[in-house]
Structure 1
Amino acid sequence: MIKKDITLNVDGIAINGQLFIPGQIHPYPTVCLCHGIPAGDRPEPNDGGYPLLAENICRQGLNVFIFNFRGTGISGGNIDLLGWTKDLAAVIDHLYLLPEVDKSHIAVLGFSGGAAVSICVAARDNRINYLAACACPAEFYRLTEADDAASWIDHFRKIGAIRDDNFPRSTEEWLDGFRFVSPVEYVSQIAPRPLLLIHAKDDETVSISHAHRLYERAREPKQLVVLDAAGHKLRRDQRVLTEFIRWLVSHLQGHKALVFNRL
Structure 2
Amino acid sequence: MKKGKNKKSWWRPFLAAPILFFLAPISIGLYLTHPFPARTTKNPKDYGLDFEEIEFFSRKDQLKLSGWWIAASSKPSNKVVITAHGYTNERAMEGIEGLQLAKVLSEQGYNVLMFDFRNAGQSKGRTTGFGFFEKHDLFSAIDYAIQKKNQEKIALLGWSMGASTALIAGCEHPNVSVIIADSPFSDLEDFLKENLSFWSKLPKRPFTPIIYHSMRKLHKIDPNEVSPIYSVSNSKGKSFLLIHSIGDEAIPFTESEKIFRAISPGSPKEFWLTENGEHINSYLLNKDEYQQRVLQFLDQYFQ
- What TM-score does the superposition give when structure 1 sets the normalisation length? 0.78
How far apart, in 2, do the equivalents of 1:231 and 1:126 lie? 33
- Residue 143 (structure 1) aligned with residue 206 (structure 2): no
Which of 146, 155, 176 is the matching residue for 1:107?
155
3-state DSSP of counterpart to 2:254: helix
Q: Which structure 2 residues correspond to residues 1-263 of structure 1 after superposition, within 5 A?
A: 1-10=49-58, 11-23=61-73, 26-38=76-88, 47=95, 49-77=97-125, 78-80=127-129, 81-99=131-149, 101-103=150-152, 105-140=153-188, 141-143=190-192, 145-149=208-212, 170-171=217-218, 173-174=220-221, 176=222, 178-219=223-264, 220-233=267-280, 234-237=282-285, 238=287, 239-252=289-302
8 Å contact kept, 1:51–1:66 = no
Q: Which has the higher strand share?
A: 1
The one-letter code matched in structure 2 to 1:112 is: S
- Summarize the Cα distance change of 1:106–1:136 in structure 2 as closer, same or farther, 3 Å threshold: same
Aligned-pair identity (%): 22
- Summarize the Cα distance change of 1:12–1:207 in structure 2 as closer, same or farther, 3 Å threshold: same
8 Å contact kept, 1:134–1:198 = yes
8 Å contact kept, 2:77–2:109 = no
Q: Which has the higher helix share?
A: 2
**What number of residue pairs does the alignment pair up?**
229
Alignment deviations for residues 113-138 of structure 1 (CA, whole Å, 9 cap, x no partner):
11111111122111111111111111
Q: Partner residue of 1:259?
A: none
Note the C-alpha offset of 1:235: 4.3
How far apart, in 2, do the equivalents of 1:169 and 1:197 lie? 29
Alignment deviations for residues 134-153 of structure 1 (CA, whole Å, 9 cap, x no partner):
11111223436541249xx9
- Summarize the Cα distance change of 1:221–1:48 in structure 2 as closer, same or farther, 3 Å threshold: closer
3-state DSSP of counterpart to 2:151: strand
8 Å contact kept, 1:111–1:235 = no
The one-letter code matched in structure 1 to 2:233 is: S
- Summarize the Cα distance change of 1:172–1:76 in structure 2 as closer, same or farther, 3 Å threshold: closer
Note the C-alpha offset of 1:28: 2.9
3-state DSSP of counterpart to 2:119: coil
How far apart, in 1, do the equivalents of 2:209 and 2:145 lie? 37
Q: Partner residue of 1:156?
A: none
- Which one scores higher on RCO, CA 8 angstroms, separation ≥ 6? 1
Note the C-alpha offset of 1:252: 4.2
8 Å contact kept, 2:84–2:114 = yes
Note the C-alpha offset of 1:251: 2.4
Note the C-alpha offset of 1:24: 6.7
How far apart, in 2, do the equivalents of 1:170 and 1:31 lie? 36
Gaps in structure 2 of 5+ consecutive residues: 1-48, 194-207
The one-letter code matched in structure 2 to 1:241 is: Q
- Summarize the Cα distance change of 1:25–1:247 in structure 2 as closer, same or farther, 3 Å threshold: closer
The one-letter code matched in structure 2 to 1:218 is: I
Note the C-alpha offset of 1:16: 0.5
The one-letter code matched in structure 1 to 2:192 is: L
Q: CA RMSD in A?
A: 2.6
Gaps in structure 1 of 5+ consecutive residues: 154-167, 254-263
Structure number with bigger Rg: 2
- What TM-score does the superposition give when structure 2 sets the normalisation length? 0.68
8 Å contact kept, 1:123–1:187 = yes
How far apart, in 2, do the equivalents of 1:107 and 1:119 lie? 11
3-state DSSP of counterpart to 1:199: strand
